[in-house]
């Protein structure tokens, strides 16, 4: 519906720009997601690794300009953290049929908000560990690699989870399930809200 009011042209231009930005960000997100899954399969799941893939890309970007590889590394890590945050916001803490501490637009209680912030903070440590493993060739001889790579992988209780790539396999399986979920149910439109909502 074409927006009405005093600044209809401005609202229409911003609406079109918003859709174009969503298209560009969606394509970029798809490319980065495919690169992540391909990197995990090529570098982590196959032993010995077929190719360093993104590790080599980061090293070559460092050769071009010192901060470029680090910026690309940070972009991939931040993208993974944003994906984790999006998943946490979508699911909340779901236990079979009920959701505990859901995040709802305009209706989130403070204790639910704080719980989800704590959940995201816990997930950020996992993202750091996952990135230090996934980009081990690029991050070699760093403190993160020493802490999250060598030290965690030799802990008595959980070393077999790292030995048999349980986390990487779970990542690829969950990425596939999420793709199937969005392909099947992602097209459903949510009820519009705000000034563009049609009266029923």
100-107 long-range Cβ contacts below 8 angstroms, 24+ apart: 105/193
pLDDT, tens digit (0-9, with 9 covering 90-100), for 117-148: 888 898 898 898 889 888 988 888 888 888 88
Share of the chain above pLDDT 70, in %: 86
> Global pTM?
0.77
Q: Judge whether residue 104 has pLDDT over 60.
A: yes
Quick one: average pLDDT of 71-85? 92
State the pLDDT at residue 3: 57
Mean pLDDT computed over every residue of the chain: 83
State the pLDDT at residue 85: 86
Instruction: Say if CB 162 and CB 153 are below 8 A apart.
Output: yes
Quick one: average pLDDT of 179-193? 71
State the pLDDT at residue 200: 45
> Could you give the angle at which helices 68-91 and 54-64 cross, rounded to 10 degrees?
140
């Amino acid at each position: 519906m074409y927006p009405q009011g005093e600044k209809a042209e401005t609202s229409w231009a911003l609406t079109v720009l918003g859709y174009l930005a969503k298209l560009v960000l969606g394509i970029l997100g798809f490319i980065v997601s495919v690169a992540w899954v391909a990197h995990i399969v090529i570098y982590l799941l196959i032993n010995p690794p077929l190719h360093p893939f993104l590790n080599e890309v980061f090293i070559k970007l460092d050769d071009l300009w010192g901060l470029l590889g680090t910026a690309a590394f940070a972009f991939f890590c931040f993208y993974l953290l944003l994906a984790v945050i999006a998943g946490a916001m979508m699911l909340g803490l779901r236990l079979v049929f009920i959701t505990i501490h859901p995040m709802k637009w305009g209706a989130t209680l403070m204790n639910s908000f704080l719980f989800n912030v704590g959940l995201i903070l816990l997930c950020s440590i996992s993202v750091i560990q996952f990135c230090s493993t996934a980009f081990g060739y690029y991050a070699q001889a760093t403190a993160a690699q020493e802490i999250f790579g060598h030290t965690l992988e030799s802990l008595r209780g959980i070393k077999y989870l790292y030995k048999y790539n349980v986390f990487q396999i779970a990542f690829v399986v969950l990425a596939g399930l999420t793709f199937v979920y969005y392909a099947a149910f992602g097209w459903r439109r949510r009820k519009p809200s705000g000034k563009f909502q049609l009266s029923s």
